[in-house]
């Protein structure tokens, strides 16, 4: 039996009813206000000494060049808690440790109290613009990331949708991932098919360091076999174009998919040269870049081939959405740093150019807090959460129990 067509009166009545519902929703949205903003420096790893002061052996100890202190990124992770007058609580992960907390509570909070949290793009631009005299990169943007992510969490909870759906839904039903760890055997046991090893030897370790790196990666290739993906993270330790080019040649037999951050993130022209001159492996970067403004310079100079923003460091979901669109326009793959976290996973799921997500929490010796923000993992893939917002299991009590001393 075919449905009866609507009469003109019924059509107008239905339209009026829908308009009434829409006005009610918008009215509720308009009344939503932020009533509190708090931030906490937190511990993600159990028994972690990351960020602790090492015992330097001399003024020339190589570790002095790589000591990152207690405020950098994962060692300085922080959680932002934003509450609204309608009972929504948004949780956002950022970084900057105690310094990031001071920025949030002494600066950004003043731009957030009493305003509508759903105007996320506008609030991001206001907060970023207000930092131009002292911020723009580094610890300010890491703190901003936590705030922006908390606002997206509120948005999802307000409309009862997961963030990945707010970003356009999934382009895949699960996100393939790679395992970042010095122990590839552990990754094989967990079911990973792609592996990234941290490189500890660099320019200051001379020829002997070069050979140690070759030996480590030759063994890793033997362990994982010929058909699995192998990548490396140099953490800027190579820091020289000629050194990096020589290492790329020496490592041809292990068939690296990409070399990540061999140089300082500020050496954009050096990265441009590597992209142009290194053959057989891609150059990855972006973990330590900030906002779409910073990534724009990488794209303009053709200085990156694999784009690796971290949503908890580079400006939050708002910034990474912009970065992902720019990378897509350049025809570049997006591999979110720590994409296996529940904060990074929405980008890995929703962006068509997102090909791999980095592991997070899986195989790590994490705290209960880390477990609460790690996505469900099975045999090399992370799966989308169904809960609203980021779908974390965070509570303010859990966060307080893991505050850094």
Question: From the CB of residue 144, how many other CB atoms can be counted at a distance below 10 Å?
Answer: 34
Residue 263 Cα distances to 237, 241, 284, 334, angstroms: 7, 8, 11, 20
Cα-Cα-Cα-Cα dihedral sign, residues 250, 252, 256, 261: positive
Please state, in angstroms and rounded to a whole number, the distance separating the CA atoms of residues 25 and 22: 5
In eight-state DSSP terms, residue 361 is S
Candidate list 194, 292, 337, 402, residue with the active-site label? 337
Active site residue 194: no
Question: From the CB of residue 23, how many other CB atoms can be counted at a distance below 10 Å?
Answer: 10
Sequence-distant (≥ 6) Cβ neighbours of residue 365 within 8 angstroms: 45, 46, 47
Query: Residue 35: which of 71, 88, 74 has the closest Cα?
Result: 88
Please state, in angstroms and rounded to a whole number, the distance separating the CA atoms of residues 156 and 389: 4
Please state, in angstroms and rounded to a whole number, the distance separating the CA atoms of residues 334 and 309: 8
Residues classed as catalytic: 337
């Amino acid at each position: 039996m075919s449905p009866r067509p609507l009469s003109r009166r019924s059509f107008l009545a239905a339209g009026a009813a829908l308009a009434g519902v829409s006005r009610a929703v918008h009215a509720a949205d308009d009344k939503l206000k932020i009533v509190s903003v708090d931030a906490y420096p937190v511990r993600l790893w159990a028994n972690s000494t990351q960020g602790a002061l090492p015992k330097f052996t001399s003024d020339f100890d190589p570790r002095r060049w790589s000591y990152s202190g207690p405020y950098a990124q994962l060692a300085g992770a922080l959680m932002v808690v934003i509450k609204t007058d309608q009972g929504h609580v948004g949780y956002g992960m950022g970084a900057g440790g105690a310094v990031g907390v001071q920025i949030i509570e002494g600066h950004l909070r003043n731009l957030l109290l009493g305003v509508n949290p759903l105007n996320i793009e506008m609030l991001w631009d206001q907060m970023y613009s207000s930092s131009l005299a002292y911020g723009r990169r580094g610890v300010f943007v890491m703190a901003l990331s936590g705030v922006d992510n908390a606002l997206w969490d509120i948005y999802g909870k307000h409309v009862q949708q997961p963030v990945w759906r707010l970003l356009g839904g999934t382009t895949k039903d699960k996100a393939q991932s790679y395992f970042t760890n010095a122990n590839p055997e552990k990754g094989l046991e967990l079911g990973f098919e792609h592996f990234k090893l941290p490189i500890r030897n660099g320019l200051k370790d001379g020829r002997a360091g070069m050979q140690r790196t070759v030996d480590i990666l030759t063994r890793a290739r033997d362990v994982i076999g010929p058909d699995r993906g192998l990548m490396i993270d140099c953490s800027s330790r190579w820091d020289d174009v000629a050194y990096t080019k020589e290492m790329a040649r020496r490592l041809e037999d292990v068939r690296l998919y990409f070399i990540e951050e061999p140089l300082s993130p500020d050496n954009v022209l050096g990265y441009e040269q590597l992209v142009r001159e290194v053959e057989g492996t891609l150059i990855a970067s972006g973990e330590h870049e900030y906002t779409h403004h910073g990534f724009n310079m990488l794209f303009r100079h053709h200085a990156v081939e694999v784009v690796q923003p971290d949503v908890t460091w580079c400006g939050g979901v708002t910034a990474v959405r912009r970065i992902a669109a720019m990378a897509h326009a350049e025809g570049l793959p997006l591999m979110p740093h720590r994409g296996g976290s529940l904060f990074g996973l929405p980008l890995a799921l929703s962006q068509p150019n997102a090909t791999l997500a980095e592991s997070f929490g899986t195989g790590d010796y994490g705290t209960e807090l880390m477990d609460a923000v790690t996505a469900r993992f099975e045999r090399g893939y992370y799966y989308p959460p169904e809960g609203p917002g980021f779908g974390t299991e965070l509570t303010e009590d859990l966060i307080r129990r893991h505050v850094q001393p």
